[in-house]
Amino acid sequence: MSKVLVVIPARGGSKGIPRKNVRLLAGRPLIAYAIEAAKRARRVDRIVVTTDDEEIAAVARRYGAEVVMRPPELAGDEVTLDPVIFHAVQTVEAMGDAPAFVVTVQPTSPLIKPWRLDEAVALLEEGFDTVISVINDTHLTWTKEADGRYVPLYAARVNRQYLPPVYRETGAILASRREVVRAESRIGERITLLELPPEEAVDIDTYFDWWLAEKSLLRRHLLLRVDGSQAIGLGHVYRALSLAGRLIDHRLTFVMDAAQPMGVELVRHYHYPVVTFEGDPLPTIAALKGDIIINDILDTQADYIRALKAMGLFVVNLEDVGEGAREAHLVINALYDSPIPLPNHLWGPTYDCLRDEFYSVPIKPFTERVERILLTFGGVDESDLTARVLRALDRVEGTFEVEVVLGLGYAYAASLERLIPTLRRRPVIHRHVRRMSELIERADLAVTSAGRTVLEVASMGVPCVVLAQNEREMRHLHARSEYGIVNLGLGRSLSPQFIAERLQQVIDDVALRRAMHERMLAVDIRGGCERMLGAIFERYRAFEEGRDEDDNHREPADR
């Protein structure tokens, strides 16, 4: 005997959206979602689809439901669901089965979760006759009188939270004791409501509903594992924020080290959800139950990546040349290439994600005269290349001005203050810069370290000279002549005289700077964010398909 019978009504004559029940929604027939929810519910014993359509019947059987073909008199537009469900129950009972509870699940509610069906059954077991799924739809509402006048359905205009609750039926679930299911009704005397969250309450009736449901079905929970501090700078955090700005279709959670509050506060300033951890991040990540994790923490360990994969996460690493890079599902290195062509690696400056401000500023036209030079060496400037280049520029001939950007972690402010009065060309100093793009747009030449600023400068077409901060930056593949960059090498090993000679050459050689400008713009850096996200979700879809294929060969874990 089947205690709980799920009946899914699916008529073939849908007019609002033709062939709605078998139309593909996010890659699956619409009716498949209701069947799968019922299959995964713990308390459901039998699943029946009642239909008048052979195509719907075939799809229903393919996804594991039984089929009851309803007679023509129950297939018309004017027929309500009560006699349809009653007919299906009688058909099952004629087969020798007598359910105690009958749960109607509408295929037009594809976002309903399996455990909602279990919750409805549990309420019936508590003694209720009927359980109806609803959504809280409390608003200031109006109605129209018989004489055409519009009148309010509220006593006073107050904020929504002070109004009495108003519940709207979603149509997703109507569960009843068998004894109250009749041809005229499925509602008994003792009724309770099952309130659904908005993301499960979509009822597909129009094409807009369809679009909304598909967006919701494709929505995933992304974890952004990133940190920022004076020591490591904020570049990784800004990139994560840029990615977040383009992931509006998905749920996002930043996972950050509580011991590095600078980055945490920056993310919170932009009002994104942040979960912090102390010590080992793995327990916190496991509790969040994400779908995809993007690690922007430089080199990872293999054990860490294996632990993430064991959680069922799709693992993406950015700028990773550590042991974990081989274990991740996807590694995207805009700054590094791979000495071995690993299949899980993508690299090159066309995969960089610029900060949002660089998409709203125009490309700077080439200027033949160098009238303003911009110096910017990252948030920390560990080798104090700022002072080294300022000394070099004092030896360079020309009538240009110099602007300097100092990062939050710059530790040489005192010595820089002593240096500036000794220079014949006094620079303008900028601290706590909010709009870096505006300073780059003013410059005719930029001198930077080999970090992500090079890509920001290149995206605007401003000729750029690079001095690497350390050996790791020496490996950055984007700071090369093929991309229009003059790379002088490891900055701390270069004398001011050598730097001055190279800068003088670049300033004086108009043809060289024009070629630099043209090579920079030949690289589609501004399309990098979309390219990166496209690669992530393309690989993730393949990952999901492989996991679904595996699931088809095993019993559901929650059955």
Q: How confident is the model at residue 69 (pLDDT cuts 50, 70, 90)?
A: very high
504 residue type, one letter: Q
The span from the CA of 224 to the CA of 453, in Å, is 21
Proportion of the chain above pLDDT 90, given as a percent: 73
Instruction: State mean pLDDT over 541-558.
Output: 62
Most confident of 44-48, 96-100, 149-153: 44-48
Proportion of the chain above pLDDT 70, given as a percent: 96
φ, ψ of residue 88 to 5 degrees: the values are -65, -40
Buried (b) or exposed (e) across 475-486, using 16+ Cβ within 10 A?
A: bbbbbbeebbbb
DSSP-derived 3-state class of residue 373: strand
pLDDT at position 470 is 87
CATH topology of domain 363-523: Rossmann fold (3.40.50)
Residue 1 pLDDT more than 60?
Answer: no
Catalytic residue among 42, 62, 149, 157: 157
What are the CB-based long-range contacts (under 8 Å, 24+) for 198-202? 198/135, 199/111, 200/109, 200/111, 200/112, 200/113, 200/116, 200/170, 200/172, 201/109, 201/111, 201/133, 201/135, 201/170, 201/172, 202/109, 202/110, 202/111
Cβ neighbourhood burial of 185 (10 Å; 0-12, 13-18, 19+): middle
pLDDT at position 559 is 33
Across 203-283, the runs of DSSP E, i.e. the strands, are 221-226, 251-257, 274-277
Instruction: State mean pLDDT over 209-236.
Output: 90
| Chain segment 462-511, per-residue pLDDT in tens | 999 999 998 888 877 678 888 899 999 999 999 999 999 999 999 999 99
The upper half-sphere exposure of residue 28, i.e. CA atoms within 13 Å in the direction of its Cβ, equals 19
pLDDT at position 554 is 40
The span from the CA of 469 to the CA of 456, in Å, is 17
pLDDT at position 482 is 85
| Chain segment 364-413, per-residue pLDDT in tens | 999 999 999 999 998 788 899 999 999 999 999 999 999 999 987 788 99
Edge-first strand order for the sheet with 66-69 is: 66-69, 46-51, 4-9, 101-105, 167-177, 130-136, 191-195
Q: Quick one: which of 72, 374, 17, 460 has its CA closest to 208?
A: 17
Q: Quick one: which H or E segment has residue 375?
A: strand 372-376
Cα(first)–Cα(last) distance of the chain, in Å? Answer: 18
Dmax (CA) for the chain in angstroms is 101
Q: How many CB atoms lie within 10 A of CB 66?
A: 17
Residue 548 pLDDT more than 70?
Answer: no
Residue 552 pLDDT more than 50?
Answer: no
pLDDT at position 298 is 85
Q: Do domains 220-353+533-551 and 363-523 have the same CATH topology?
A: yes
CATH topology of domain 220-353+533-551: Rossmann fold (3.40.50)
| Chain segment 246-256, per-residue pLDDT in tens | 999 999 999 99
Rg (CA), the chain: 32
157 in active site: yes
| Chain segment 308-350, per-residue pLDDT in tens | 999 999 999 998 888 999 999 999 988 776 666 788 999 888 8
> Which of 3.40.50.300, 3.40.920.10, 3.30.56.10, 3.90.550.10 would CATH assign to domain 4-217?
3.90.550.10
How high is the mean pLDDT of the chain? 91
Domain boundaries, the chain: 4-217, 220-353+533-551, 363-523
Residue 551 pLDDT more than 60?
Answer: no
pLDDT at position 419 is 95
Q: Quick one: which of 249, 245, 246, 172 has its CA closest to 212?
A: 249
| Chain segment 273-308, per-residue pLDDT in tens | 999 999 999 999 999 999 999 999 989 999 999 999
Cβ neighbourhood burial of 236 (10 Å; 0-12, 13-18, 19+): buried
pLDDT at position 451 is 84
Instruction: State mean pLDDT over 186-196.
Output: 95
